Structure 1
Amino acid sequence: MKRKFCPLDVKGLTDEGTFTGYGSVFGNVDSHGEIVEPGAFAKSLARHAKDKSAPVMLWQHNTDEPIGVWEDLSEDAKGLTGTGRLVLDVPQARSAYALLKAGALRGLSIGYHVVKSEPDGAVVRLKELSLMEISVVTFPANTRASVTGVKSERWQEFARRLRDGDPMPPNEFEDILREAGIPKSMAVQITSVGYAKAIRRESDGPGDAPAVTDAALSNLKAALGSLLRS
């Protein structure tokens, strides 16, 4: 069984241990030189649905340590998306919950068998995969997938302070970006080019909270766009 890793961008976690996000993304060349094609999971998901089964949720690919269940998995335009639920009666699931909330776990990793693939120059296009399991892991390699649908207290605080016209200092915003897995050099540039510029403009003259929020978001989008194009 082969494995493929994706970063886990935790933005929060419900009290019941549920989260939503992507286990794999389409069109991205991963560290193994492979590209998952749209539709690669379709037949496997259909088989699971027919059999009323689902890929298992494991801890670090350890088959002796299931920690939860995948309640809904499907493909969308971006990739393999789903809702998972940690079974908090299981000790390792409680540990995973605490580590996810602290930002200490960095990835999801799918376990799969290749059914159909095709070489394309220096890469291999994965056309059909049999999905066996999706694990919560420490070290991701695929840099495009993310987990969403959970609320981070620090991001909530950031948004609240923007709305209240009391934006947090640039160094605290940079810390939030770093906790989300943004590389240090990129976090510094996003902070200095986008965020710091927005809050400097607010401090230069009168304005209301929505204005500073719009300015911050606009400048942050511009900064991110510039970095992604470079």
Structure 2
Amino acid sequence: MRFAGYAAVFDTPDRGGDVVRRGAFGPVAPVPLLWQHRGAPVGRIDTIGEDARGLRVTGRIDDARLAGLVRGGAVDGLSFGYRVRACREGARRELTAIELVEVSLVAQPMQRLARVHAVVEDFPDGAAP
């Protein structure tokens, strides 16, 4: 099953008070797709990068149980693991340079707007009807 969504949305405080700023991710190298930031990959990220809204990802979920939860809407959160390279401290910590480590499907994202927004079933020949 394939999906698309945002692992981060710019200028939106997360539950911890951090705010990711545009350009913080810079060029993004390939990263694994995990479940709840742990364990072995549950699929793969096909495309990832910043757009005007945030860090947009498309990928494939290979784990059948997790794919069923995402398909049914029981899991729709996205999140990302990172190392802070630069930030501004103030009323909120503004993340201005981030080293991305992984993207995860999660039950409860730190950033409320970081969600899967589209799901597409795979077809054996790679084409949709």
Say yes or no: does 1:69 pair with 2:53.
no
Give the aligned CA root-mean-square deviation in angstroms. Answer: 1.4
Higher relative contact order (CA 8 A, sep 6+): 2
Question: Where has structure 1 moved over 4 Å in runs of 4 or more?
Answer: none
Shift of 1:149: 2.9
* 8 Å contact kept, 2:76–2:116: no
Q: Which residue of 2 aligns with 1:78?
A: 53
Tell me which residue corresponds to 1:99: 69
Q: Which amino acid aligns with 1:73?
A: I
CA distance in 2, matches of 1:109, 1:146: 8
Equivalent residue number for residue 213 of structure 1:
none
Q: TM-score, normalised by structure 1?
A: 0.50
Match of 1:135 in 2: 104
Q: Take 2:32 and 2:119, find their aligned partners in 1: how far apart are those partners? A: 21
SS, match of residue 42 in structure 1: coil
Q: Report the Cα distance in structure 2 between the residues aligned to 1:65 and 1:56, rounded to whole angstroms.
A: 9
SS at match of 1:95: helix
Choose which of 85, 94, 105 in structure 2 pairs with 1:125.
Answer: 94
Q: Answer with 1 or 2: which has the greater Rg.
A: 1
Query: Per residue, is there more helix in 1 or in 2?
Result: 1
Task: Specify the code of the residue in structure 2 equivalent to 1:139.
Answer: Q
For 2:37, give the aligned amino acid: H
Alignment of 1:163-182 (within 5 A): none
**Aligned equivalent of 2:2:** 18
1:57 aligns with 2:41: no
Using the TM superposition, give the Cα deviation of residue 130 of structure 1 relative to its aligned residue in structure 2, in angstroms.
Answer: 0.4
Q: What's the secondary structure of 1:99's corresponding residue?
A: helix
Q: CA deviation at 1:143?
A: 1.6
TM-score (norm 2): 0.86
* Residues 51-82 of structure 1 deviation map (CA, whole Å, 9 limit, x = unaligned): xxx110011111x3211110100111100001
Q: 1:99 corresponds to which letter in structure 2? A: L
Report the alpha carbon displacement of residue 109 of structure 1 after superposing the two structures with TM: 1.4
**Matching residue within 92, 113, 122 for 1:144:** 113
Deviation at 1:103, TM superposition (A): 1.5
Q: Distance between the aligned counterparts of 1:103 and 1:149, measured in 2?
A: 11
Unaligned runs of 5+ residues in structure 1 are: 1-16, 49-53, 88-92, 152-230
Q: Percent identity of the aligned residues?
A: 37
Cα deviation, residue 96, structure 1: 0.5
Aligned length: 120
Aligned partner of residue 149 in structure 1, secondary structure: strand
Structure-1 residue corresponding to 2:12: 28
Closer, same or farther in 2 for the Cα pair 1:24/1:57, shift >3 Å? same
